[in-house]
Amino acid sequence: MRTSPSILAALALALGGCSLIPDYQRPAPPVAAHYPQGLAYASAAGTAGADWSGLFQDPLLQQLIHSALDNNRDLRVAALNVAAYQAQYRIQRADLLPAVSASVNGKRQRLPEQMTGGKALINSSYGANLGISAYELDFFGRIRSLSQQALMTYLSSEQARRSAQLSLVANVASAYLTWCADQELLELTRKTLAADEQSLRLTTRNGHAGKISALDVAQARTRVDSARANLARYQRQVAQDLNNLTLLVGAPLPADLPQRRLAEGMLAQVPAGLPSSLLQRRPDILQAEYQLQAANANIGAARAAFFPSVSLTANAGSSSKELSGLFKGGAGGWTFQPQINLPIFNAGSLRASLDYARLQKDISVAQYEKAIQTAFQEVADGLAARQTYQQQLMAQGNLVQASQDYYNLAEHRYRIGVDSNLVFLDAQRSLFSAQQGLINDHLAQLLAEVDLYRALGGAWSEAPSLAGTQAQP
């Protein structure tokens, strides 16, 4: 009984569509369905609906972020890694199709008299061939599994680039806000130093007049020395803040960079959304899931290695002793060379490879779940910081006002001789400490908002999805 060629072709196509990759099921998120609630937490209503330019509203900060996205070297390396993984995917995908090559060769050889037993001879041969070499028929999906793994690795690298971009935007914002706060602290220290020097002059005159003791003069002098030390420290911090910004931006900052202070309206409030939205928006979670899918595809390749592999080598062409007769009738020839490789004994290597692939998938599952748990914890911390910093800033503002009233009263009573210099110096110290605390608390509140933006995976209006993802090289 003869088998129809059409039946053989259909069988080959059916085997070619075989895949041993396990069905992928996204692991259930190992977190609660809602963020923590209570007095320490802000509400998490709403969804993110704008990009970073809608959150960071300071024009100078927007300019610095734009420059960093264009010039930062770490982000540039991340983008180049994406291109490199895309090239690797294209290389792997190319193995699905046979590589056809053409060759033309010629040969002339002189045989000496000792070889021919007479006169020396010159032999010539020419050939032209078209064929494929060692093309593996992917009956059990090994090549497609490796191609799928390369695709998921490429998509994972794209999420790594997005994660690097998100971190860069947040780092530039944090560095900029820190620079603004340190400038404000520097200006406060200058004013405090001027007030302390004025107090020292007044105290010195009173000491010379015998109205106060030498101890009071010494206390006023230590206050001035402390303010000068703080001035040098904040001058150093402002310079280092600019150096950090320069590194993040990746280009020299403008020479006429205007001075900035922390102010309301520099940042818009980030809407937190729901925990489920993190799975579609945070790039590190998407990266972990792509890596999980790559490990899942690698199991299919490890399974296919247990089955026979079939490779084909075939070529057709013509050959002749004369170049002029290379393409004449009767010069044609062909070669068809199939090869089947069946694994029989490999000392457990294939079984170990499959076990290793399964273990790698289990590791990827754990890493994916840890990425979700980390994201949940960071967002919960951000919501707690938002709520409590608002309360802390209000209380700190009241403390500054009370300290200012205390300072004004102590200064007046000291000048009229009712209170000692010690009370006045204590009022100065309390006011400076409260003002420092207000600036630091304001900075911490803004940095917490930046961290919440980072924890939420940015604020894109449309979240990327893994469903139906295809790579377009």
Q: What is the pLDDT of residues 157-176, one digit of tens each?
A: 999 999 999 999 999 999 99
pLDDT band at residue 1 using 50, 70 and 90 as cut-offs: very low
pLDDT band at residue 11 using 50, 70 and 90 as cut-offs: very low
Residue 132: partners with Cβ closer than 8 Å, 6 or more residues away:
98, 99, 100, 101, 312, 313, 314, 315
Percent of the chain with pLDDT strictly greater than 90? 40
Report which of residues 179 and 135 the model is more confident about.
Answer: 179
Would you state the pLDDT for residue 181? 94
Tell me the C-alpha to C-alpha distance, in Å, between residue 420 and each of 32, 65, 196, 198, 400: 60, 52, 16, 16, 23
Domains of the chain: 15-96+138-307+348-455 (1.20.1600.10), 100-137+309-342 (2.20.200.10)
CA distance 100 to 133: 8
If you average pLDDT over residues 298-319, what whole number do you get?
Answer: 88
CA distance 134 to 272: 55
pLDDT in tens, 185-208: 999 999 889 888 887 887 787 777
Q: Does the structure show a pLDDT above 50 at 462?
A: no
pLDDT in tens, 225-244: 988 999 999 999 999 999 99
pLDDT in tens, 150-159: 999 999 999 9
Tell me the C-alpha to C-alpha distance, in Å, between residue 37 and each of 44, 47, 331: 9, 18, 85
* Range name among 36-50, 79-93, 214-228, 307-321 with the lowest pLDDT average: 36-50
DSSP line for 222-241:
HHHHHHHHHHHHHHHHHHHH
If you average pLDDT over residues 412-424, what whole number do you get?
Answer: 77
Tell me the C-alpha to C-alpha distance, in Å, between residue 161 and each of 79, 154, 289, 290, 361: 6, 11, 15, 13, 23
CA distance 173 to 260: 13
- By C-alpha distance, which of 455, 453, 451, 445 is closest to 391? 445
Note whether 95 and 309 are within 8 A (CB).
no
